[in-house]
Amino acid sequence: MGHDHSHAHAHSHVSFNEASLKAFQVGIGLNVLFVLVEVGAGLAYKSISLLSDAGHNLADVASLLLSYFAFKLARRQATMRFTYGYKKTTVLAAFLNALLLLLAIGILGYESVLRLQAPPPVQGTGIAWVAAVGIAVNSISAFLFFRNKDADLNIKGAYLHLVADALVSIGVVVGGIVISFTNWYWLDPLIGLTIMFIVLVGTWSLLTNSFKMSVDAVPAGIELDEISKVILAVKHIVNVHHIHIWPLSTTENALTAHVIIEECLPFNEKLKVIRQLKHELLHHNIHHSTIELESETIHCPDENERLEPHAH
C-alpha cells in the first residue's frame, strides 16, 4: 500500500480575550479581600463555618491564580522546544486546582468534626453579616465568568465554584441567624461539614475531567464513532482508521487519522477533500488535524454513482 501524507492544521482557536483575563483579575482581587475579612471574623467570632468558608475561598483564589497564569502562558507563541506552545498548562492548572481543593476539604473537614464533638459558643449575628458580604462578592465574581463559562474547563470550574460559594454563603447566613436566636452552637461546625461536602462533589468532577485531559483521553463532548461518521460523510472519502483525538488545552483539541480517498481523483482534488474535511471537523470542536492519505485499489464511481462509505 502506498502512502501519501498531507499534514495541515485548522487554526480556529478559542482565544481568551482581555475580558476573560480581566474577569480573573477582578475575581482574584475581590476574593483575596473577602478571605482576609472571613479569616479575621472567623477568629474573632470563633466560627468554624466562617474559617471553613475562608479556606474554601482561599483555595478558589489559588485556583483562579493558577488558571490566570496558565491562560497567560497559553497565549505565548510556540517554540522549537514547545511546538504546541504552553497550552497544556491550562489542563495542569485545572488538575492542580482540584488537588488544592481536596487538601482544603481534608483539613477543614477534620476541624469541623472536632468542633462538632464540643461546639464552642459563636456569635451568630456576626457570622450572618460576614456571610452576607460573601454572597455579594461571589455573585459578582461568578457573573464575570458567566459569558465564557462554556468555552473552557477552567472558566467553567471558576464559575461553578463561585456560584457554589454564593449558595454556601446563603446557608451560613441562615445558620448564623438561627444560632443568634437559639444558641444552637453545633450548627456552626455542621454548616462547615456541609460546605466541605458541597465542595467535594464539585471538586471530584473537576479532578476526574482534568485527569482524563492530562492523559490525553478523548475530550468530553466528543465521541470517536461520531467523528468517524463525520469523516466518512465527506464526499470522496471511502475509509478511515487510526483515529486519535486528544486535548491540546482545556479549549483546543487535536486529531490524527488515516483516510482513503477515491484513487481516481487527481492529487490537487484530494487536497481539496482534505480541506473540506478539516472544515467539517472544526464544527465538531477539532481545532488541529493531521490527515494521512493512504492508497487502496478501489472502484472509481462516475458522476452519477456514489460509493457507499465503509469502515474497518
What angle separates helix 267-282 from helix 224-232, to the nearest 10 degrees? 140
- pLDDT digits 0-9 by tens, 230-277: 999 999 899 999 999 999 887 789 999 999 998 888 989 999 999 999
- pLDDT digits 0-9 by tens, 168-190: 788 788 888 988 889 888 888 88
Among 202, 130, 166, 158, CA closest to 61: 158
| pLDDT band of 198, cuts 50, 70, 90 | confident
Spatial contact of 24 and 159, defined as CB atoms under 8 Å apart: no
Q: Is the pTM of this model over 0.85?
A: no
Measured CA angle at 145 (ends 248, 202), to 5 deg: 75
> CA-to-CA distance for 53 and 38, rounded, in angstroms?
8
> CA-to-CA distance for 144 and 138, rounded, in angstroms?
10
Which of 9-13, 92-96, 133-137, 194-198 is most confident?
A: 133-137
> CA-to-CA distance for 225 and 240, rounded, in angstroms?
11
> CA-to-CA distance for 210 and 153, rounded, in angstroms?
8
Sign (positive or negative) of CA dihedral 34, 37, 39, 42: negative
Mean pLDDT lowest among 25-29, 107-111, 131-135, 235-239: 107-111
| pLDDT band of 302, cuts 50, 70, 90 | low
Q: All domains of the chain, ordered by start, with CATH?
A: 18-214 (1.20.1510.10), 219-294 (3.30.70.1350)
- Report the pLDDT value the prediction gives residue 144, as an integer from 0 to 100: 83
CB atoms within 10 A of CB 11: 10
